[in-house]
Structure 1
Amino acid sequence: MSGSTVLLPDLCTLRDLRTFVSRARVADPEGVVRLIGHGAVLAVLASPLHGSGAPTVLGMRAATLTRPSRVDATVPMAAMEALLVDPCSDHEGPIGLAVPADEITDVAWAGITPPRSGWELLGTVSRETLLRVARAGEAEVAAAVSPGTAPHEVQRLRARVWGRSLTDDPPGLPAGIAFAAHVLGFVTDPDTDADGPEATAHRTGAWSRLTTTRGHILARTGSLI
């Protein structure tokens, strides 16, 4: 079954998407990305955290397309990285990205689509808070896991650590949002990047969202798997 082709505006956009996919693959080496093309925008989603009681947390990076396209495909990250290779070094102008046909149907998180509208602004979350929670959680998981730890125990630990509340104000955001923002590079250290993006928190229904200039982190309470 054939796929379709979307037209990225330039090499910078292609490299930006490749960086996003590469970072997401660190958190989920055997994972997938979902590509949703609607009009002149391509949304690329990955899930650094999901399953076994953990909140379902998605990272989303959007790219403007040169021409409108309609695409909805779920692709293995390894295959996506291979597609996002640079063309010849002197290339200028738009770049065609061949999107394989969607043949993956057994990834639960890829079957849900976050809301586009209805978001209520809750407030802001400082970069210091996001990094502190992310690093503390990563250290807690690393300290408790050894080569002999059973996979279900690791999943249970991750669910407990990343299912905690991120902050009291605004309330209701899972700590997994901080983990995803950190691993995907959506939040930077104020000590080395004084002008880095701040984050705003939003909610609609069962969904929470953290937004920076680098992308969106979306979380849905409760596991889908």
Structure 2
Amino acid sequence: MPAMLTLANPQVREDLATFLGRAGRIEDSGLRLQEVPGGVACWVPVLRPAGLLTDSPLVVGVRGIPARIESTEADDFVGDRVDILVPMRGMLDRLARTPNSEQEALRLALPVERPHESWTGVTPPLSGWQPTAELSSDILIHVAEDGIAEVGERAGGGLGQLLAEEIRTNTWTRALPEMARKKAPSITSPSDHAIAPTPLPPAGAAFAAHALGFLKSGETGQLSEAPGWWRIAFPAGQVLIRRR
């Protein structure tokens, strides 16, 4: 019997279909479904290194939904909670079908395939996050749209894959502009001298938040740091960036 995803209500199904539709336009890859307290975390890759020698950051988006997963397969568990990777396309196909009843709409049989993807091998810590700043969604939207236009202009025209990848990497590895930082914590050293603000994540974080629909004009995102990672939390979801 396949693993089952049970959603809390029809609106969750619609929201999940929208979120995965956005993610599938970026990368038709895998979807990580992880049981967490109160629901299920949906992890999707947005940017990742094309190889060992590239400087592209690993950027993933996470959206939590009120749902639960049932599985009888031991391999689907990490500890006592389900944590699996399923094909994105398979999930989109299931969500696109017209259900025959409300009960059928809320229970999705998950794909049986369990692909292996390298981005799932590194997981951010669950604790130890330190808030460092608030970021302006308006500035992040501007950064994302400018970057998308730049990549489209420079990487078009039939360039080879390696050159196009270099252009994308150069665009999305640039640090976010300092103007994105709306509010930094007031921290002083023992000698009462202000400590310089911590570095900001790469522009790829803005691209991820924009592409996944997390950015809304007038809102802010809470930037936090943990060893090796940045996290930007928005009302609609989170973007996690592995520091290189």
Q: TM-score range by the shorter chain?
A: 0.7 to 0.9
Give the C-alpha shift of residue 132 in structure 1: 1.3
Q: Which of 212, 226, 232 lines up with 1:204 in the alignment?
A: 226
What SS does the corresponding residue of 1:35 show, helix, strand or coil?
A: strand
Q: RMSD of the alignment, in Å?
A: 2.3
User: Taking every aligned residue pair, what percent have the same amino acid on both sides?
Assistant: 31
Distance (Å, rounded) in 2 between the aligned partners of 1:102 and 1:172 = 37
2:30 counterpart (22, 32, 51): 32
Q: Match for 2:235: what amino acid?
A: T
Q: Any idea what SS the aligned residue of 2:127 has?
A: coil
Structure 1 runs (4+) deviating above 6 angstroms are: none
Task: Give the letter aligned to residue 213 of structure 2.
Answer: G
CA distance in 2, matches of 1:42, 1:139: 34
* 1:78 corresponding residue in structure 2: 89
User: Which residue of structure 2 aligns with residue 181 of structure 1?
Assistant: 209
Given the alignment of the two structures, is residue 160 of structure 1 paired with residue 170 of structure 2, yes or no? yes
Distance 2:167 2:31 in 1: 25
> Is 1:133 paired with 2:143?
yes
Check conservation: 2:59, 2:242, Cα contact below 8 A: yes
| Cα pair 1:73 1:101 within 8 Å, conserved | no
What is the CA–CA distance in structure 2 between the aligned matches of 1:111 and 1:64, rounded to whole Å? 25
Letter in 1 for 2:137: R
Q: Counterparts of 2:69 and 2:23 in 1: how far apart (Å)? A: 27
Aligned to 2:12: 13
Q: Does the 8 Å CA contact 1:40/1:68 hold for their aligned counterparts?
A: no
Q: State the 1:200 CA deviation.
A: 1.0
What residue in structure 1 maps to residue 238 of structure 2? Answer: 216
Shift of 1:146: 2.1
Q: For the Cα contact (< 8 Å) 2:40–2:66, is it kept in 1?
A: yes
Q: Comparing 171-180 with 77-86, which one deviates more in the overlay? A: 77-86
Determine if contact 1:9/1:94 at 8 Å carries over to the other structure: no
Q: Structure 2-normalised TM-score?
A: 0.79
| Alignment pair present for 1:112 and 2:122 | yes
Instruction: Letter of the 1:62 partner, please give it.
Output: G
Q: Cα distance, 1:177 vs. partner?
A: 0.5
Cα distance in 1 between the residues matched to 2:104 and 2:9 = 5
Q: Any unmatched runs of 5+ in structure 2?
A: 72-80, 182-197
**What is the CA deviation profile of residues 41-93 of structure 1, one whole-angstrom value per residue up to 9, with x for unaligned ones?**
21111111112321000000111226887322222221111122465476269
Unpaired segments of 5 or more residues in structure 1? 191-196
Is 1:54 the counterpart of 2:56 in the alignment? Answer: yes
Deviation at 1:171, TM superposition (A): 2.1
Secondary structure of 2:164's match? helix
Tell me the amino acid that sits aligned with residue 32 of structure 1. G
Matches within 5 A, 1:67-106: 70-85=81-96, 88=99, 91=102, 95-101=106-112, 103-105=114-116
- Normalising by structure 1, what TM-score? 0.85
Q: Deviations over 1:112-162 (max 9, x none)?
A: 222221111011111121011111111111111124211111111111111
Give the number of the structure whose alpha-carbon radius of gyration is greater. 2
Offset at residue 26 of structure 1 (A): 1.5
Indicate conservation of the 8 Å contact 2:40/2:65, yes or no: yes
Contact 2:99–2:105 (Cα < 8 Å) also in 1:
no
